[in-house]
């Protein structure tokens, strides 16, 4: 169990990056959704024992990792958003080097451990190919291989599918789902599809505060009947957005906008019809609605509504 209690982090300025975060995480995949600057990176760095919080506790299986960050370091796998590899090394040589730096070996030697890890992430066929020739997805899988080395108790992955094509993204989904079966996995992202596909539970963070702690299904059900979609001409878009709470606007066939709005009560504009909400709609409601106006069911459990609009 990973218990985060009253986590606060104030950077010089002062800038409050985290404002009293409380979460309880068990084994499995947990999604952390939020825009850039919301506090996701600071949260992960504190949980990983890389920076010290201003206040609060982080307990891993009852052990205080703020007081003893080494306890977490010995049980952590971390895949940052940008992972640097030496382009002239082969995938196998690069992974061997990373294992050496992490102090990981095995009964049959470090090379055998590296080969087994490459097999697990479906890179055995490219073991002897230079990393410079790897695709973005292959680099991410190599990064995941080093992250799961040593069978970590906690695995943190930061924006793991950013920039991947659809095929690589779904390949990575399968790998992460497998990794989450026996450990705590925190998936930090701004890509809602990642969380909707992988995570049975998620939190949404905004302005350093957790504004929702819920499940994808509960989030969708909480806004059922309040999401409408219709078409709006480009020339009318500015006035329309001023009058209605627009969640998204997508250019359709280059001539008009397909627009989704949030309307908990009242009559929708002419030509708009109710649609089945998705997790992205729920996320956008949380991002674009003053916290005090967010439906309590969407916030989930253990979340206090404070603050104003983002």
CB neighbours of residue 32 within 10 Å: 26
CATH, domain range 1-75+152-217: 3.40.50.300
Residue ranges of the domains in the chain?
Answer: 1-75+152-217, 83-146, 219-299
Q: Taking CA 169 as the corner, what is the angle to CA 105 and CA 43, rounded to the nearest 5 degrees? A: 65
| pLDDT value for 293 | 82
Pairing of the two strands 76-79 and 201-206: unpaired
| pLDDT value for 81 | 81
- Distance in angstroms (rounded) separating the CA atoms of residues 91 and 198: 27
| pLDDT value for 305 | 38
- Distance in angstroms (rounded) separating the CA atoms of residues 41 and 158: 8
* Cβ neighbours for 59, distance < 8 A, ≥ 6 positions apart: 1, 2, 3, 5, 65
Question: What token pair was written down for 10?
Answer: 């104030």
Cis peptide before 14 (omega within 30 of 0): yes
Per-residue pLDDT tens over the stretch 54-107: 999 999 999 999 999 999 999 999 998 877 899 999 999 999 999 999 999 889
pLDDT tens, residue order, the chain (310 aa): 999 999 999 999 899 999 999 999 999 999 999 998 899 999 999 999 999 999 999 999 999 999 999 999 999 999 988 778 999 999 999 999 999 999 998 899 999 999 999 999 999 999 999 999 999 999 999 999 999 999 999 999 998 888 888 888 888 899 899 888 789 999 999 899 999 999 999 999 999 999 999 999 999 999 999 999 999 999 999 999 999 999 999 998 778 999 999 999 999 999 999 999 999 999 999 998 887 888 889 988 644 333 333 3
pTM, two decimal places: 0.89
| pLDDT value for 301 | 63
Per-residue pLDDT tens over the stretch 30-46: 999 999 889 999 999 99
| pLDDT value for 171 | 87
CB neighbours of residue 61 within 10 Å: 13
- Distance in angstroms (rounded) separating the CA atoms of residues 310 and 299: 15
């Amino acid at each position: 169990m990973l218990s985060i209690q009253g986590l606060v982090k104030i950077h010089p300025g002062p800038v409050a990056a985290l404002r009293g975060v409380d979460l309880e995480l068990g084994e499995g995949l947990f999604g952390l959704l939020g825009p850039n600057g919301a506090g996701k990176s600071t949260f992960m760095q504190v949980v990983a024992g890389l920076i010290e919080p201003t206040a609060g506790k982080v307990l891993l299986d009852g052990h205080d990792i703020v007081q003893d960050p080494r306890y977490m370091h010995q049980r952590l796998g971390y895949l940052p958003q940008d992972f640097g590899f030496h382009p002239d090394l082969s995938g196998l040589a690069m992974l061997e080097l990373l294992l050496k730096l992490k102090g990981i070996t095995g009964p049959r030697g470090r090379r055998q451990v590296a080969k087994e890890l490459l097999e697990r992430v479906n890179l055995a066929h490219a073991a002897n190919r230079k990393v410079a020739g790897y695709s973005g997805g292959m680099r991410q899988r190599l990064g995941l291989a080093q992250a799961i080395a040593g069978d970590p108790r906690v695995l943190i992955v930061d924006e793991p599918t950013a920039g991947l094509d659809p095929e690589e993204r779904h390949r990575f989904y399968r790998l992460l789902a497998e990794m989450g079966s026996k450990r705590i996995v925190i998936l930090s992202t701004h890509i809602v599809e990642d969380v909707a596909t992988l995570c049975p539970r998620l939190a949404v963070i905004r302005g350093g505060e957790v504004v929702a702690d819920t499940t994808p299904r509960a989030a969708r059900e909480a806004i059922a009947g309040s999401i409408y979609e219709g078409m709006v001409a480009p020339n009318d878009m500015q006035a329309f957005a001023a009058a209605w709470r627009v969640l998204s606007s997508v250019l359709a066939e280059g001539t008009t906008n397909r627009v989704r709005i949030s309307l908990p009560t009242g009559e929708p504009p002419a030509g708009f019809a109710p649609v089945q909400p998705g997790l992205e709609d729920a996320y956008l409601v949380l991002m674009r609605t003053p916290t005090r106006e967010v439906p309590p069911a969407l916030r989930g459990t253990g979340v206090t509504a404070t603050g104003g609009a983002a």
